[in-house]
């Protein structure tokens, strides 16, 4: 059985680099290059238009970087970073990208990256959605988001986020011992998150119900909700 189509968007400010990636991808059955973008703005539009499964993403581009682009998205597709700079390759590894490729891209390394994507897409199928879109289907627990806090970056699946906490126009996410802020209000997230999985427990908090251990009643009829990690939400 042929592999399922892997809809791929190439994002690189260099036309020759985009052409070379197309050439290297051509022998791979089922890899469908749905478009190209030369900068973050073009990429955001292309993601909205094509909803790719995979981004081959240059990190350093004129204007906004590849990381800046990912911060614009509510949910991100699978990402393989392509970079000419070792420092960015290391950073990509730290943020749990599926893989990173250092230019000039070696055909065998690209093949390894495609194999990694195929393995991952068998488990999850994140849906890329831009923050500027009209209201669309809820973000599911299987969707992944890109979070950047200072110099630290993460790809995190929403299933792993146990708690969202309001912080003005920002929201603090709690997952895997990390507590970064994202530039999204709690109300904005409430409108986007799947209500069957994520519950607005108070003005300050949204809970991931799969992390709720039990619910107890205490002072003046208020409820206290302990999470599996020991965090208590009132």
Q: Give pLDDT, residue 233.
A: 61
Bridge partner residues of 79 (DSSP): 55
Show me where the domains of the chain are located: 6-129, 161-233
DSSP 121-140: HTT-----EETTSPP-SPBP
Q: Give pLDDT, residue 100.
A: 80
Instruction: Report pTM.
Output: 0.76
CATH superfamily to which 161-233 belongs? LytTr DNA-binding domain (2.40.50.1020)
Beta strand pairing call for 6-11 and 54-58: parallel
Angle (deg, nearest 10), helices 15-25 and 107-121: 70
The C-alpha atoms of residue 13 and residue 164 are separated, in whole angstroms, by 35
Q: Give pLDDT, residue 92.
A: 53
- Cβ-in-10-Å burial (0-12, 13-18, 19+) of 219 comes to exposed
Over its length of 234 residues, how does the chain's per-residue pLDDT go in tens digits? 666 789 999 999 999 999 999 999 999 999 999 999 999 999 999 999 999 999 999 988 999 999 899 999 988 899 998 888 776 555 655 555 667 888 899 999 999 999 988 887 764 444 444 444 444 457 888 888 888 887 788 888 999 999 899 999 999 999 988 899 998 999 999 999 999 999 888 889 998 888 776 555 565 555 555 565 656 565
The answer to whether 57 touches 68, Cβ cutoff 8 Å, is: no
Q: Give pLDDT, residue 9.
A: 98
Q: Give pLDDT, residue 45.
A: 96
Q: How many Cα atoms are found within 13 Å in the side-chain-facing hemisphere of 62?
A: 5
Q: Which fold has domain 6-129?
A: Rossmann fold (3.40.50)
DSSP 34-97: EEEESSHHHHHHHHHHH--SEEEEES--SSS-HHHHHHHEEE--EEEEEES-HHHHHHHHHTT-
Q: Give pLDDT, residue 125.
A: 46
- Cβ-in-10-Å burial (0-12, 13-18, 19+) of 168 comes to exposed
Q: Give pLDDT, residue 121.
A: 72
The answer to whether 36 touches 18, Cβ cutoff 8 Å, is: yes
């Amino acid at each position: 059985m042929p592999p399922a189509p892997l809809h791929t968007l190439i994002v690189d400010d260099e036309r020759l680099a985009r052409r070379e990636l197309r050439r290297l991808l051509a022998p791979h059955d089922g890899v469908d290059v749905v478009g190209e973008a030369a900068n973050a703005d073009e990429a955001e539009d292309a993601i909205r238009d094509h909803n790719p499964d995979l981004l081959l993403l240059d990190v350093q581009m004129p204007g906004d970087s590849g990381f800046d682009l990912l911060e614009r998205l509510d949910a991100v597709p699978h990402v393989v970073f392509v970079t000419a700079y070792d420092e960015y390759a290391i950073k990509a590894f730290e943020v749990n990208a599926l893989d990173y490729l250092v230019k000039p891209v070696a055909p065998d390394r690209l093949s390894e990256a495609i194999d990694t994507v195929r393995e991952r897409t068998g488990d999850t199928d994140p849906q890329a959605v831009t923050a500027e879109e009209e209201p669309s289907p809820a973000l599911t627990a299987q969707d992944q988001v890109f979070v950047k806090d200072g110099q630290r970056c993460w790809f995190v699946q929403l299933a792993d986020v146990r708690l969202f906490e309001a912080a003005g126009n920002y929201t603090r996410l709690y997952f895997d011992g990390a507590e970064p802020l994202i530039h999204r209000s709690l109300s904005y997230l409430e409108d986007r998150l799947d209500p069957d999985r994520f519950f607005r427990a108070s003005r300050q908090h949204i809970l991931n119900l799969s992390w709720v251990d039990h619910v107890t009643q205490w002072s003046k009829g208020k409820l206290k909700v302990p999470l599996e990690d020991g965090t208590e939400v009132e």
